[in-house]
Amino acid sequence: MKLYGSTISPFARRIAVSLNVLGLPYEFVRLSTAKQPEEVRKLNPLTRIPALTLDSGETLIESWAILDEIDQIVGPDQALIPPSGATRRKVLQTISLGVGCAEKSVWAYYELSKRPEEKVHQPWLEQNEAQVLAGYSSLEEQLKRDGANDLFKSGSRLNQAGITCAVSFRFTGHVRPELDIRGTAPTLAEFSDECEAMNVFKSVAVS
Ligand SMILES: N[C@@H](CCC(=O)N[C@@H](CS)C(=O)NCC(=O)O)C(=O)O
């Protein structure tokens, strides 16, 4: 398999970490939408990363669809999202918050990085940042209530909620260091630090 993207992209990185956790071999092909738009467009007409080319040659886009295929490959016993029931609902809802925090961080980051300084719309930037903080604050509450073993793990292994939330948290810290996400979500910050110290994260460190 070939994963196309960058380690800054939380959408690409959650796939890379998932493949690492599952021990599935892949090649990480670094591609930037800003620097190599034509290359990216060949994989995805929307010119977005990530994309994953399967061993069959088929190329998949959208991180949720790629992760779904990866879970299909390993089967229900190994899948990072539980196959059914209340545990599946809970993992999916926690992922939704984690992905939402990443998306809103991207929007805030793009407002600053894609526009000329005089065209940055401060209220829109602040709205996105407030949404990011609200998302992490909600995850913090859940984490304090349920504990990492319940919220972010299935058995002794990280599940997709743990992977996605850790990746999102690291991403926000990287692109919006001014936002006090560590103060807002100290328990989540601790969990994120623990994840970043693991080889499955370290080998695809944000750079
Ligand atoms: N929903 C998509 C989001 C992908 C996405 O927004 N990727 C960003 C990089 S982090 C991108 O390609 N941005 C370029 C653009 O939107 O023009 C997914 O989960 O894969």
Mutate which of 13, 48, 66 to test ligand 1's pocket (most atoms within 8 Å of Cβ)? 48
pLDDT recorded at residue 206: 97
pLDDT recorded at residue 35: 96
pLDDT recorded at residue 114: 96
C-alpha dist (Å) from residue 95 to 30, 69, 139: 25, 16, 10
Cα 65 to ligand 1 centroid, rounded to whole Å: 13
Confidence of residue 89 (pLDDT cuts 50, 70, 90): very high
> How many other CB atoms are there within 10 angstroms of residue 82's CB atom?
19
How far is it, in rounded angstroms, from Cα 10 to Cα 173?
12
Q: The tokens 């990072």 sit on which residue?
A: 80
Q: Which residue puts its alpha carbon closest to atom 15 of ligand 1?
A: 48
Mean pLDDT of 190-194: 98
Examine residue 50 and say whether the peptide bond preceding it is cis (omega within 30 degrees of 0): yes
- Answer whether CATH 1.20.1050.10 is correct for domain 85-202: yes
Domain residue spans of the chain: 2-74, 85-202
Cα 143 to ligand 1 centroid, rounded to whole Å: 27
Mean pLDDT of 134-162: 97
Cα 47 to ligand 1 centroid, rounded to whole Å: 8
Q: Tokens in use for 197?
A: 């110290």
Q: What is the pLDDT of residues 94-104, one digit of tens each?
A: 999 999 999 99
Q: The tokens 């992922």 sit on which residue?
A: 95
CATH ID of 2-74, from 3.40.30.10, 2.40.110.10, 3.90.440.10, 3.20.20.70: 3.40.30.10
For ligand 1, residues with CB inside 6 Å are: 9, 11, 33, 47-50, 62-64, 106
pLDDT recorded at residue 37: 98
Cα 166 to ligand 1 centroid, rounded to whole Å: 18
Picking from 16, 42, 151, 27, the residue whose alpha carbon sits closest to that of residue 97 is 151
The SS3 of residue 177 is coil
* CA 138 to mean position of chain CA atoms: 17
Mean pLDDT of 31-52: 97
Residue 2, beta-bridge partner list: 27, 53
| Residue at 175: amino acid letter | V
43 CB-contact burial (10 Å; exposed 0-12 / middle 13-18 / buried 19+):
buried
Q: What is the pLDDT of residues 101-143, one digit of tens each?
A: 999 999 999 999 999 999 999 999 999 999 999 999 999 999 9
- Report the share of the chain in percent with pLDDT over 90: 100
Q: What is the pLDDT of residues 17-28, one digit of tens each?
A: 999 999 999 999
pLDDT recorded at residue 196: 98
Q: Tokens in use for 36?
A: 């190599």
Q: Which residue puts its alpha carbon closest to atom 1 of ligand 1?
A: 62
Residue 60, beta-bridge partner list: 52
Q: What is the pTM of this model?
A: 0.98
Cα 48 to ligand 1 centroid, rounded to whole Å: 5
pLDDT recorded at residue 22: 98
- Report the share of the chain in percent with pLDDT over 70: 100
Atom of ligand 1 nearest to the CA of 66: 20
pLDDT recorded at residue 71: 98
Cα 52 to ligand 1 centroid, rounded to whole Å: 13
Q: Which residue puts its alpha carbon closest to atom 19 of ligand 1?
A: 63
pLDDT recorded at residue 83: 94
Atom of ligand 1 nearest to the CA of 34: 14
Q: Mean pLDDT for the chain?
A: 97
The SS3 of residue 44 is coil
